[in-house]
């Protein structure tokens, strides 16, 4: 009975070691993903700030004009579209 207990105990410890190793690898991977995501977010914030600064340095004149009134015609328009 004692030898079976020792074998079971040894197997349980082996399983725990595997679990701890897998958890450590998963934790490390999660930290790396979080680190890269934070770096990407910081880069995006920097790019937005640079774009805004450039926009403020070079003002753009945006003028909206109304389209000319279309002439009414009694003829129907037919558009042909070639099909290949």
- The DSSP-derived string for 9-78 is HHHHHHHHHHHHHHHHHHHHHHHHHHHHHHHHHHHHHHHHHHHHHHHHHS-------PPPPPPP-SSPP-
Q: For the segment 4-63, what is each residue's pLDDT rounded down to a tens digit?
A: 788 899 999 999 999 999 999 999 999 999 999 999 999 999 999 999 999 888 877 777
DSSP state of 60: -
How far apart CA 58 and CA 29 sit, in angstroms, is: 43
Closest CA to 46 of 58, 34, 54, 35: 54
Q: Any idea which residue has 């910081």 for tokens? A: 42
Least confident span in 21-25, 62-66, 76-80:
76-80
DSSP state of 5: H
């Amino acid at each position: 009975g004692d030898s079976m207990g020792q074998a079971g105990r040894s197997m349980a410890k082996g399983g725990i070691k595997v679990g701890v190793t897998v958890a450590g690898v998963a934790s490390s991977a999660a930290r790396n993903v979080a680190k890269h995501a934070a770096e990407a977010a910081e880069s995006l914030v920097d790019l937005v700030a640079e774009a805004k600064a450039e926009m403020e340095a070079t003002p753009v004149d945006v003028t909206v004009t109304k389209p000319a009134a279309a002439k009414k015609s009694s003829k129907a328009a037919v558009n042909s579209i070639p099909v290949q």
